[in-house]
Amino acid sequence: MPFAFNPVRRLAVCAAVAAGLVTGTAQAAEMTGAGATFPYPVYAKWAEAYKAKTGVSLNYQSIGSGGGIKQIEAKTVDFGASDMPLKADDLDKNGLVQWPMIMGGVVPVVNVPGVAAGQMKLNGKVLADIYLGKITAWNDPAIAKINPELKLPNQPIAVVHRSDGSGTTFLFTSYLAAVSPDWKSKVGVNTAVEWPAGIGGKGNEGVANFAGQTAGSIGYVEYAYALQNKLAFTQLTNHEGAYVKPDSASFQAAAANADWKGTPGFHVVLVDQPGKASWPITGASFILMHKSQAKPENAQNVLKFFSWAYANGGKMAEDLDYVPMPGPVVKLVEGVWSKDIKSADGKPVWPAK
């Protein structure tokens, strides 16, 4: 009988040793991060390419922005990621530094018979009134007036919003508050709000699903989800009153016109930005790190990865319908790294040698 067990046992020992080796090397060069789900696909793609090139792997857990903030405050990860920028006070209080890593746009999507992608025009006030439950049918004069070329049905509007807290909701409500005083006073801005109307879907895919199959619905999703699910996104008026369609060009226009330099902690919410070509609901996803680093070599590894992503990740980001950060903003960010992130004994961590 012992002979029968022997090969099995030997195999098991080999496997255990091999597993030990694998995890051993992985721990030697692994960065850890946690947070926002929205940028997860592009972070994962960058990490894959970066590992193939350098052997350094990233363990990123997309547990949500709220979770990411908590984890970085507790120092259980090398960096946190959040779709909603922290205010300068909160950053100082926890000794954190924050910068924008990647951008995307939020687009309203509609499911109205006979209306294709990009055909319907909406403005901020009408969108806010729909979400406030004041406009309840598609043939409402307010919608018909700005869409004279569309034949709108007498159909109730099914308002779809996010049921979970989300950076997407933060951007969307920021925009509605910027353009509608009513929204600002009655509902406000947050990653989750008390919705006056509508049904909630979990995640971008939940909203995309409801909007895709409920006739007469309107929802808001990240641009990538609208494209992947072939949803009919709308045009919107921007700060200059011009109708724009959502695409990378209009997202980048919004980012280019933003005042990154003069805003402490890069606390820039790219809604309702100036510029005739700017898409009005654009936003960045942010990275959070501690200013004082107990393990400077870890921090250096992480910054090397982000620097590489800024320099080489643009194409990968665009393939996934994200918008890379413009060059001048990257320069500002790397300046902040060398100025603010230091080892425990006060030596700057960046630029890495």
Task: Tell me which residues touch other proteins (CB under 8 A).
Answer: 63-67, 69, 156, 158, 163-166, 187-195, 198-202, 209-210, 213-217
Contact 211, 219 (CB under 8 A): yes
Q: Nearer to other proteins by C-beta: 192 or 336?
A: 192
| Cβ contacts of 23-31, under 8 Å, gap ≥ 24 | 26/57, 29/55, 29/56, 29/57, 29/301, 30/56, 30/57, 30/58, 30/59, 31/56, 31/57, 31/58, 31/59, 31/78, 31/79, 31/298, 31/301, 31/302, 31/305
Least spacing, CB of residue 112 vs other proteins, in Å = 14
Least spacing, CB of residue 276 vs other proteins, in Å = 32
Q: Nearer to other proteins by C-beta: 170 or 251?
A: 170
Q: In terms of residues, how long is the chain?
A: 353
User: Which one-letter amino acid corresponds to residue 82?
Assistant: S
Q: Nearer to other proteins by C-beta: 64 or 108?
A: 64
3-state SS assignment for residue 110: strand
Least spacing, CB of residue 172 vs other proteins, in Å = 14
Q: Nearer to other proteins by C-beta: 191 or 301?
A: 191
Least spacing, CB of residue 161 vs other proteins, in Å = 9
Least spacing, CB of residue 155 vs other proteins, in Å = 9
3-state SS assignment for residue 128: helix
Instruction: Supply the DSSP symbol for 232.
Output: E
Q: Nearer to other proteins by C-beta: 39 or 64?
A: 64
